[in-house]
Structure 1
Amino acid sequence: MALKHEPTAPYHSAQGALRVLETVARHSTGVTDAELARETGIGRERLTTLLRMLRREGYVEQTADGAYVTGDALARLSSAHRHEEALRDQLQRTLNRLRDSVGAAVYISRYVDGEVKVTQYADGPATPAVNEWVDFRQSAHATAVGKSLLGQLDHDGRRDHLARHKMARLTSRTITSDKLLLSRLEAQPPTVPVLDLQEYAVGTVCAAVPITAGSAVGCLALSLPVEHAHRLRQAADTLNRNAAPVLLSLAI
């Protein structure tokens, strides 16, 4: 199965952060931001943003004299022992922060063995998760998550998925024509969030952005009650801008 890869802004941020992290790790006694700028070739302004993100995620720490050293989160993720558990914990902390900054329930989803799978999410009393009234594996045609994942497959991969899953009408807004859905997926720019405006469930709107690491297809999504639909695009843009830490965790 071929994938359609067009790197997004979060992907470039994660790549830059990885470069900074590798440089910090080489300097066991610490490295200054001036040395980091020189060794990585990353401009000061961008470097400051990346370092802020790395500190927030616990990947780097600053010593008393201002030098940067690797942080606890990196040590936990770099250890082969219980890596999966450390990754889940790290992603959950990031998702909790994202939920609070976008004011919506947020989800990580992957396309695994030909199926849509929501692997982790963060919700709360003020940010309820979507009620999965129809199995997400059967409803990729109607959800932002499903459409974002299908959009990252090639044409044959999409056709294969739709051949295995009947496109049921879940609400009056659900697209049930595979021809229409395929043409929409084809026209969707990878850098623009995919939206679900009450196509999966009446009363809920969603948005999803791709987080593609290596050959794995994934996405980051959010859901809002329909009375907050006016916030959807802005929340989706915030989600997209803040997707880099998720990509970074998956890449380490």
Structure 2
Amino acid sequence: MPYTGPQSVDRALEMLDAVADAGGPVSAKALARRLECSLSTAYHLLAPLTERGYLVRTAQGYALGPRIPGLQRSLMQHLEPVPRMADVLAGLRRATGAEAYYTAYRGGLITVVDTTAPVTDTGNPFTPGRETRAHATAHGKALLAELPRPVLRRYLAEHGMPRLTRATITCAEVLEAELSRVRGQGFAVSVGEVDPAYTCLAVALPRGREGGRGRDGGAVHALSVSLPTGEFRRRPQEIRAALAQAAAGCG
């Protein structure tokens, strides 16, 4: 029997995620195996996604459809983006030799909006999309430090603080002390807290704050870089200065 109601919506979204996560077109049979459902159910779920343009059916299987770029444009508008951020990221990449990132907090979610890291770089620990490791990343700390304490506590309760490496902070009180230091020094740093091999450095950008510091209605943005820890330790002041200069140019 086909899925109906909210369960059907959930499974359809799960199928859309499966296609998005694949390296290329995916057959209906493969999607049915992925979702552990019958082939007829898979087709039942695929039909509206294809009709609405979220997916397209090719000779090799199902792939993302023409509706997706429109969603990306709408997302960017809702995140109140900093103008010419692509140029800022490229300049920061040239100045530091490190991959640069633009992230945003809005409505209880953190998103990696853009990056200089190529999409083929599967070894990079920070990729565009939803960020669920804010407690361990520099860009996450920079954004969380901008939130009022009740909003911060709600965010941590909803998303948790899983241990990713030995260096990951997993206690809310310890993280709050860390965020206080972030506010005091004006930047956040994460040394091996997501990936033991990487260090990231971030600053919050004073843009798009509707109604004050990071309240649920407005967006908060951050600019960050990540690079191998050994390289960062050889020139921390240079990296920090370049990031600060790039952030100042966004004001």
Shorter-chain TM-score range = 0.5 to 0.7
1:224 matched residue in structure 2: 227
Equivalent pair of 1:98/1:106 in contact (CA under 8 Å): yes
Count of matched residue pairs: 161
Partner deviation per Cα, 1:193-243 (whole Å, 9 max, x = no partner): 200000011100000011021413111000011220212342022111221
Q: 1:137 to 1:242 in 2, by over 3 A?
A: closer
Q: TM-score, normalised by structure 1?
A: 0.57
CA distance in 2, matches of 1:232, 1:187: 18
1:172 matched residue in structure 2: 166
Q: Which runs of 5+ in 2 are unaligned?
A: 1-75, 210-218
1:115, distance to aligned residue in structure 2 (A): 0.8
CA distance in 2, matches of 1:128, 1:93: 23
Q: 1:171 to 1:217 in 2, by over 3 A?
A: same
Partner deviation per Cα, 1:96-142 (whole Å, 9 max, x = no partner): 111101211111111022111111111369x9983249x85321110
Query: Structure 2 counterpart of 1:203, which letter?
Result: A
Matched, 1:235 2:235: no
Q: Which of 241, 244, 248 is the matching residue for 2:248?
A: 244
2:192 matched residue in structure 1: 198
CA distance in 2, matches of 1:112, 1:235: 27
CA distance in 2, matches of 1:237, 1:191: 13
Moved over 4 A (4+): none
Tell me the secondary structure at the aligned position of residue 130 of structure 1. coil
Q: 1:192 to 1:89 in 2, by over 3 A?
A: closer
Q: 1:188 to 1:245 in 2, by over 3 A?
A: closer
CA distance in 1, matches of 2:122, 2:250: 21
CA distance in 2, matches of 1:149, 1:98: 19
Q: 1:146 to 1:172 in 2, by over 3 A?
A: same
Matched, 1:159 2:159: no
Q: Which runs of 5+ in 1 are unaligned?
A: 1-82, 248-252
1:117 matched residue in structure 2: 111
Tell me the secondary structure at the aligned position of residue 221 of structure 1. strand
1:190, distance to aligned residue in structure 2 (A): 5.0
1:182, distance to aligned residue in structure 2 (A): 1.2
1:144, distance to aligned residue in structure 2 (A): 0.3
RMSD value over aligned CA atoms?
2.8
Q: TM-score, normalised by structure 2?
A: 0.57
CA distance in 2, matches of 1:145, 1:183: 16
1:90, distance to aligned residue in structure 2 (A): 2.6
2:48 matched residue in structure 1: none
Q: 1:119 to 1:113 in 2, by over 3 A?
A: same
Equivalent pair of 1:104/1:128 in contact (CA under 8 Å): no
CA distance in 1, matches of 2:140, 2:155: 10
1:36 matched residue in structure 2: none
**Sequence identity, in percent?**
29
Q: Comparing 186-195 with 114-123, which one deviates more in the overlay? A: 186-195
Q: 1:190 to 1:130 in 2, by over 3 A?
A: farther
Query: Structure 1 counterpart of 2:232, which letter?
Result: A
Query: Structure 2 counterpart of 1:234, which letter?
Result: E
The equivalences for 1:61-140 within 5 A come to 90-123=84-117, 130-132=124-126, 137-140=131-134
Equivalent pair of 1:117/1:136 in contact (CA under 8 Å): yes
1:187, distance to aligned residue in structure 2 (A): 3.3
Q: 1:223 to 1:136 in 2, by over 3 A?
A: farther
Tell me the secondary structure at the aligned position of residue 249 of structure 2. helix
